[in-house]
Amino acid sequence: MARGLSEEQLAAYFTLTEVGNLLEQAVSDQLRADGDLSPVQFQVLATLGEPGAPDYRMTDLADRIVYSRSGFSYQAGQLEKRGLIARERDGHDERSTVVRLTAQGRDLLARVMPGHVEVVRELLLEALPPRDLQTLRGVLDPVRDRLRSRPPRSARPRRRTG
Amino acid sequence: MARGLSEEQLAAYFTLTEVGNLLEQAVSDQLRADGDLSPVQFQVLATLGEPGAPDYRMTDLADRIVYSRSGFSYQAGQLEKRGLIARERDGHDERSTVVRLTAQGRDLLARVMPGHVEVVRELLLEALPPRDLQTLRGVLDPVRDRLRSRPPRSARPRRRTG
DNA sequence: TATTGTTATACTCTATAACTATA
DNA sequence: TATAGTTATAGAGTATAACAATA
């Protein structure tokens, strides 16, 4: 089995997967309790709320969060209904929609973040000496960049319309 | 923001999350194409098919895969319908159900694995020198153990039944 | 009385394809 | 003709609570 992959390599991959799953499960409970948010919704808000965040179009966020456009439209609708984000026409390209965080969205993010950070600290960081954390970043950043550089789903050709 | 968490720490966490998401997306496409499996279904088969795998009860797998029991019952039903797993009574505790891989399940796993490994290699391993891979394991294994040691969802008290 | 597992139900999420509008 | 976004639809996945059986 695992043609050309060592046990070691496969094990590392499965560990990465399992850590991701277990972490998401715990985080999911916290986000639901503190802000009635799904992990995906939190990710949208957090991405928009990052310090030097650029303007995002719908497609940009869909690609980043790993959603089909339609799926992201749905989520954006949910968040907009709650007044957490706003959508407005892009002045440069009338086809595009720019998404931004509202004041309410920023508030909710601020309200959810402490508990979120607490969970992350407890589950991830306390098991990681600062030195290892830095190592983790050094190791994963190139992987992330490699993954980001792949053509996103939105780049797939669409079927001809009737 | 991020009371008590450094930028560095938060960034490492977000990177871990994003790598997990992007990896799962790519893997998901491959599993669907090669075996008509969701990532979760693959995870069930792969867990059951590991070399020295023990007997698993339904609850054990639900906890491991991060599902509610009912959700796992649903997935087990899907896999059983396709003849990929089998459920049988546990001789030691008549309440329990033991899950095992069928020959068909083993076949499918073997058929899906090469493509799966290929994706993992391309997206994860080629960006990781062997040395870093070992580091990654050393860093994540304790985290995984810590996460596993938490009380799983199935341990939550159930509401009194009417 | 607690635990294992299933089921009924309701809801959320997701993708595909059709559709509108702009480039 | 291609791209950005939305929507309709249909299906998959998930959780809660109720249920049956065993410990």
Amino acid type, A144: R
Helix or strand run (H / E) with residue B99? strand B97-101
- Measured in whole angstroms, how far is the alpha carbon of residue A90 from the centre of its chain? 23
Mean pLDDT value across residues B120-126:
87
With respect to residue B159, please indicate whether it lies within any of the assigned structural domains. Answer: no
With respect to residue A96, please indicate whether it lies within any of the assigned structural domains. Answer: yes
Helix or strand run (H / E) with residue B57? strand B56-57
Contact B16 A136 (CB under 8 A): yes
With respect to residue A160, please indicate whether it lies within any of the assigned structural domains. Answer: no
**Alpha carbon of B12 to those of A33, A144, A148, B130: distances in Å?**
24, 11, 16, 21
Distance, CA of A29 to C1' of C2, in Å: 25
Q: Which nucleotide is nearest to A156 (CA to C1')?
A: D3
Q: Which nucleotide is nearest to B162 (CA to C1')?
A: D18
Contact B140 A24 (CB under 8 A): no
pLDDT of residue A4: 58
| Intervals of chain A under pLDDT 70 | 1-5, 157-162
| Nearest-by-CA chain A residue for B121 | A5
Cα torsion at B74, B76, B79, B84 (round to 10°)?
-170
| CATH assignment of the domain containing B35 | 1.10.10.10
With respect to residue A65, please indicate whether it lies within any of the assigned structural domains. Answer: yes
Q: Which nucleotide is nearest to B67 (CA to C1')?
A: D14
B158 band by pLDDT with thresholds 50, 70 and 90: low
| B7 SS3 class | helix
What are the structure tokens assigned to A28, written together? 């999911």
Distance, CA of B159 to C1' of D16, in Å: 9
User: E-assigned strands of chain A?
Assistant: 56-57, 85-89, 97-101
Determine how β-strand A85-89 pairs with β-strand A56-57. Answer: unpaired
Domain count, chain B: 1
Indicate the DSSP class of residue A45.
H
Q: Is B107 on the interface with A (CB under 8 A)?
A: no
Share the mean pLDDT of chain A: 88
With respect to residue A33, please indicate whether it lies within any of the assigned structural domains. Answer: yes
pLDDT of residue B162: 35
Burial label, A14 (beta-carbon count in 10 A; 0-12, 13-18, 19+): middle
Q: Sheet harboring B85-89: ordered strands across? A: B56-57, B97-101, B85-89
- List CB contacts (< 8 A) between B46 and chain A: 14
Residue nearest to nucleotide C1 (CA to C1'): B160
pLDDT of residue B5: 66
With respect to residue A11, please indicate whether it lies within any of the assigned structural domains. Answer: no
B131 band by pLDDT with thresholds 50, 70 and 90: confident
Q: Is A111 on the interface with B (CB under 8 A)?
A: no
With respect to residue B4, please indicate whether it lies within any of the assigned structural domains. Answer: no
pLDDT of residue A78: 97
How far, in Å, CA of A125 to CA of B37, rounded?
33
Q: What pLDDT digit, counting tens, does each position of B67-88 carry?
A: 899 999 999 999 999 999 999 9
End-to-end CA distance of chain B: 44
For residue A50, the enclosing domain spans: 16-152
